[in-house]
Amino acid sequence: MKMPTSFMPCICAEKAAMLLSRREREILGLIINGYTNSEIAGLLYVSCRTVDTHRQNMLAKLGARNTAVLVRYAVENIQFLGLN
């Protein structure tokens, strides 16, 4: 079986910034800073399920395979996504 060369999203950072909502970018910023879903939920006064739904939506919008890929993409494109 041939392994893919990369699981990184094939979407440019500028387009990703437009695709993600303000709340999704806010949650992504917290994720890349090491916060858990429970901690993010507490900070934003939402349920853990809401945080997880936002994370799943980001994965789908960016075509990322998992949260690790999402975090790597965000860190590599932090200035375009407005996460600094």
Whether 2 and 66 have beta carbons less than 8 Å apart is answered as: no
Q: What is the pLDDT of residues 10-65, one digit of tens each?
A: 667 777 778 899 999 999 999 999 999 999 999 999 999 999 999 999 999 998 88
* Within a domain: 77: yes
Q: Residue 67 is part of which domain span?
A: 15-81
In a domain, 65, yes or no: yes
Name the band, by pLDDT with cuts 50, 70 and 90, for residue 83: confident
Q: Quick one: angle between helices 37-44 and 48-62, nearest 10?
A: 110
Of 79 and 13, the structure prediction assigns the larger pLDDT to: 79
- In terms of DSSP H, where are the helices of the chain? 13-19, 22-32, 37-44, 48-62, 67-76, 78-81
Q: What is the pTM of this model?
A: 0.85
Q: Give the CATH number, domain containing residue 63.
A: 1.10.10.10
Residue 6 located in a structural domain: no
68 contacts 59 by C-beta, under 8 angstroms: no
Tell me whether residue 3 is in a domain. no
Q: Residue 77: which pLDDT band, with cuts at 50, 70 and 90?
A: confident
